[in-house]
Each structure stands twice: as structure tokens, then as C-alpha cells.
Amino acid sequence: MTPQRITAGYLPGLGEDEVLWHSLSFAQGDRRLEVSVPVLSAAQMQALAQRVRTAAEQHLRPMPVAEIIDAIDRAIARLLDRDDSFRREAEAWLPVVSGYDADMVRLGMTGFFKTFRAAQLRRFVAEDFANPGVLDCFQPAPKGGAARAFGPDLLVHSWAGNVPALSLWSLVCGLLVKAPSIGKLASAEPLFAGWFARLLAEVHPPLADCLAVVWWSGAGGDSGLGAAGAAALYAQADTVLAYGGNASLDALRRRLPVTTRFLPHGHKLGFGLVGMQALDALKAPAVARLAAWDVMRYDQQGCYSPHVFYVERGAPVSPRAFADYLAAELANLQRRFARRPLELEEGAAVAKWQQSVEWRAPADGGEDVLIGPADAPWSVAYSDSLQPLAPTALYRTIAVVGVDTLDAVVPLVAAQREFLQTAGIAAAPETLYRLAGLLGAAGVTRISAMGSMSMPEAGWHHDGRFNLLDLVRMTEIEQSAEIAAQPFAPYAD
């Protein structure tokens, strides 16, 4: 079967025959896909940066935020329409590049896109700006004078990972603050960002040149294909939003001028807490079911995905029994949304993790076990003794740890402060607030319900930062200037 070919990226002002193309190959079962990604020279990258800057100056900056929201909303409406050609492409090919179950991708996209409708976008802006008008013009400041927010002069995105359509987050952030944007595709998911740029140009043609999507090899792009283009772009950017492992983020930061604003989002380590109140015969199976969804979604590849569930002892349903419920739910979900086939190296990592659990067992005595058949496409490791917060092998491998009190977990997670982000909690309101205070102090930035860990709500603060505020700089007209201007008015007495 000859593979399908898709030309990825988005290059306003550049013809397809003017740039070099690199081919990335993907295969799932009998479906094969070749994705051509653009590799730009330094001169081409400079010209591209100039073009998006100029276009944004003309078309994006003068656009009121309300109209930008309206344009994004129309694009998102099309992505939610299962008959739309862009949506059909996404449903057809994102499962092939990512390897995820097609139904999982379909449900995930719908759930994700619907958090970008107009109402949600307005909420998103309101989260960061008490008066969203500051993005359009000078607004009176409570202290006196006036203030206006300006987005970056050139925003560069470096996407990573294979969670489908993840680039939408930063692209929307850039648009809302009216920034000309150039994004670098992740080799593991090189499709969505280019499609979104094209779709946006369709629904609102003046935006066609305000956005570009390119590729180079590796995260830092300091050597290899497209390195010259990458260097040219990084030299021009005034703000860089980057996703990836800490090592590649560090390498990227080192090559940026000190004046460039760098907004890194590293890999994270999610976990869940299940309190006694949630562990009676009626509630526990339901909580386990929700927890299993968080493990299943994108096979644990999200920054918010759980690795460990700490479960409190002393309730009618023991932590060990909760682990069994969780295992049963993972087995059920496997029938609906099969885990993607693992490559040899990934399989080896899963086996290594399983074996480490197996070898720990006799030393600990007790009930420590690996639940489920060793070759099942999921596995639950139960431990009756306190275990540190540590990553599992992903791909639906999850640890359940029995604890005397949930408070005992706090020092364990605090030890991994730099990797904390999402914690799922199933507990009564008072416990929720008390734990939230402790976890927040420990470094957790997002607390959600079980089942919602992998579905952040609209307007969430990614890694505890202000998604939009972090991108802008404020220009203030101080009161003194206002007052001093008065005598110069033509109508001055």
C-alpha cells in the first residue's frame, strides 16, 4: 500500500517549491503516512518573521479582542463539526501519527475543542485581565493614569510530544494577545498546528499571514536539519514558549539572548489522592472508574496524567480493593479504547517497571503485587507501604499505594516539587480544602476531580502561571503625564 502524503506546516509568502522538505514516516497497522515538514534557511526564516510581524501589525493588533475571539470561535466550530474537512482530516490522521485509539482521539478532541468556544475564551481572557479592554486600548488604572497590554513583538512556540492538538493552547494564547507567531512542530505530532493556521486563514482571511508553522530537527535545533533557520528565528523572538523535558528546555534557554522572555513547560508528574470518605462500597467503584479514565486518556502522555494514586486505609473499601477496582476498569477501557501498540523500547521500559515491582514484593512481604496478567496492556502495581512519588512506565501503568492518612503523602510529593502540577482528589469538601492548602504549598498548581485530571477546564492556569499575562507587557500612562498634558491642549485656558 502506498502511503498517503501530507504537507505539514504553514508558510505565508513562501511557495512550496522554494523550501526544503523533510519527510517523517508514520505507520499504524496497514495505514501509512508520510508527513512533509518544511526546513527553512536562515534567510527564509528571517523573511518569514518579518512577514508575520508586518501582517500582525496591520491586521491583528488593530483587531478588538472580541473579534479575535469571534474568529477563533468560528474556527473551533468547524473543528467540532464532524463533517468539516479539517475535522475529518484530524480524525483520520491524528490516530496514525500518535498511535492512539481512534475513538480516544475523537472524544479527546471534542472535549478539548469545546473549551475554546467564545464563552470559554471570554472566561479565559477574564481570568487574566480584570478589564479585557486593556488588550485593545488604554484603560483607566485604579491608581490613576491609564494602562494598556501589548503582546510580544514575535512569539515563538516550540511544541513537543504527541498529545494531539496540544499546540492549540499556545496558538490561542498568542492570538488573544495579538502576537505574530511562529511555531515549531513536534516531530511526534506534526499536523495539527498547520491545519489550525490554514483554518484560521479561511474563517478570517486577514489573519492569514499573522501565523506561520515550521519545523527543524530536535527540540533545541542547535544542530541537525534546519539548525540555521532555528538560530535565525530564536535570535528574532522576543518571547519563547517551549514544551519539553528539562534537559532540552535548559539547552534552549542557554541559547536565547538574556532579553528574551522564556516560558518553559517541562514534563510533569501527576498523582491522585483518595480519601476515606470516597471509599464505601457505593462510591469507591465510581471513583476508581473515573481514575481509570485519567490513566487511559492519551495513554498517560499528558503532563496532567496520573502516575500514582495514594489511597487511605480504614474505610470499608481497602486500598488493595480499590486497586482491584481500578484494574477492572482499566481492563474495561482497554476493550473500548485500546492502548496503542508499543515499540520495543517502550515495551522494555514497561517490562522493567513491572519487574521492579515484582522484585520488590518478597522484601516488603505484605500485599504488594502487580495486579493483572503480565502481558495485559495495562498494569496496576499495589504497594501496602509508603512509596515515593515516582514516574511509572506510562502506557497505562499505574501505582496504587495504601496510606494511613493522606497527610502522610504531602512530604513525599513535596520532594518532587519541580515536577508537580496536577493532583486529583476524591475527598469531602473540608478535606479537599485542607489538602489543597498543603499540596499548594508543596508545589501543586492544579487540583481536579478524579476523571478530570486529564481534562483541564477552560482558562486553567497552566503550571500555575498566567497564560496571557505572562505574554504581555504593560504600558502605563502615569497620572503625571495626563495632568502635564492638560496645559498643552488647544482648549487650555
Partner 1 sequence: MDKAALLVADLLAFIALDACTDEQFDQLALRLFAYQYESNAPFRSFCQRRGATLRNVRTWSDIPAVPIDAFKAMELRSAPASAGERVFMTSGTTGRAARGRHFHPQLAVYDLSMTRNFAQRFMRGDERLSMGILFPDEQAMPNSSLAHYLALAKSAFGTPDSRYYLTPEGLDMPGLCAALEESERSGRPYALLGASFSLVHVMDGLRAHNRSFRLPAGSRILDTGGYKGQSRELPLEDFYADLSQLLGVPRSHCINMYGMTELSTQFYDEGNATLPSVKSGPHWIRSRLVEPVTGRSVAPGERGILVHCDLANYNAVTTILTEDVGLWAEGGFLLLGRAEGAAAKGCSLAVEEFVKAAAA
Which residues are at the interface with partner 1 (CB under 8 A)?
A: 160-163, 166, 188, 243, 245-247, 265, 267-270, 298, 300-303, 305, 307, 342-356, 358-360, 362-363, 374-375, 390-394, 418-419
Q: Which residue has the cell 487511605?
A: 312
Q: How far apart are CA 185 and CA 208, in angstroms?
A: 18
Phi, psi of 458 (to 5 degrees): -60, 135
- Supply the minimum distance, in Å, between the C-beta of residue 448 and partner 1: 15
Residue closer to partner 1 (CB basis): 83 or 418: 418
- Supply the minimum distance, in Å, between the C-beta of residue 98 and partner 1: 8
Residue closer to partner 1 (CB basis): 114 or 352: 352
Q: How far apart are CA 421 and CA 440, in angstroms?
A: 9
Residue closer to partner 1 (CB basis): 161 or 451: 161
Residue closer to partner 1 (CB basis): 46 or 334: 334
Residue closer to partner 1 (CB basis): 71 or 401: 401
Q: Which residue has the cell 498517503?
A: 4
What are the Cα distances from residue 137, in Å, to 64, 132, 238, 461, 484? 9, 10, 22, 25, 21
Residue closer to partner 1 (CB basis): 68 or 399: 399
Residue closer to partner 1 (CB basis): 51 or 339: 339
- Supply the minimum distance, in Å, between the C-beta of residue 91 and partner 1: 20
Q: Are 237 and 156 in contact (CB under 8 A)?
A: yes
Q: Which three cell numbers stand for residue 189?
A: 505530532
Q: How far apart are CA 90 and CA 84, in angstroms?
A: 10
Residue closer to partner 1 (CB basis): 17 or 418: 418
- Supply the minimum distance, in Å, between the C-beta of residue 440 and partner 1: 20
Phi, psi of 469 (to 5 degrees): -60, -35
DSSP codes joined into one string, 431-473: HHHHHHHHHHHHT--EEE-TTTTTSPPTT--GGGS-TTGGG-E
Centre a 10 Å sphere on the Cβ of residue 291 and count the other Cβ atoms it contains. Answer: 27
Going by C-alpha positions, the residue among 326, 300, 263, 308 that lies closest to residue 415 is 308
Q: Which three cell numbers stand for residue 367?
A: 500485599
Q: Are 129 and 468 in contact (CB under 8 A)?
A: yes
CA 154 to chain centroid: 21
- Supply the minimum distance, in Å, between the C-beta of residue 255 and partner 1: 20
Buried b (16+ CB within 10 A) or exposed e, 16-34: eeebeebebebebeeeebe
Return the DSSP state at 330: H
Alpha helices for 56-150 (secondary structure H): 65-80, 85-98, 102-113, 118-128
- Supply the minimum distance, in Å, between the C-beta of residue 350 and partner 1: 6
Residue closer to partner 1 (CB basis): 209 or 368: 368
- Supply the minimum distance, in Å, between the C-beta of residue 356 and partner 1: 6
Residue closer to partner 1 (CB basis): 358 or 476: 358
Q: Which three cell numbers stand for residue 261?
A: 522572555
- Supply the minimum distance, in Å, between the C-beta of residue 197 and partner 1: 22
- Supply the minimum distance, in Å, between the C-beta of residue 211 and partner 1: 22
- Supply the minimum distance, in Å, between the C-beta of residue 362 and partner 1: 6
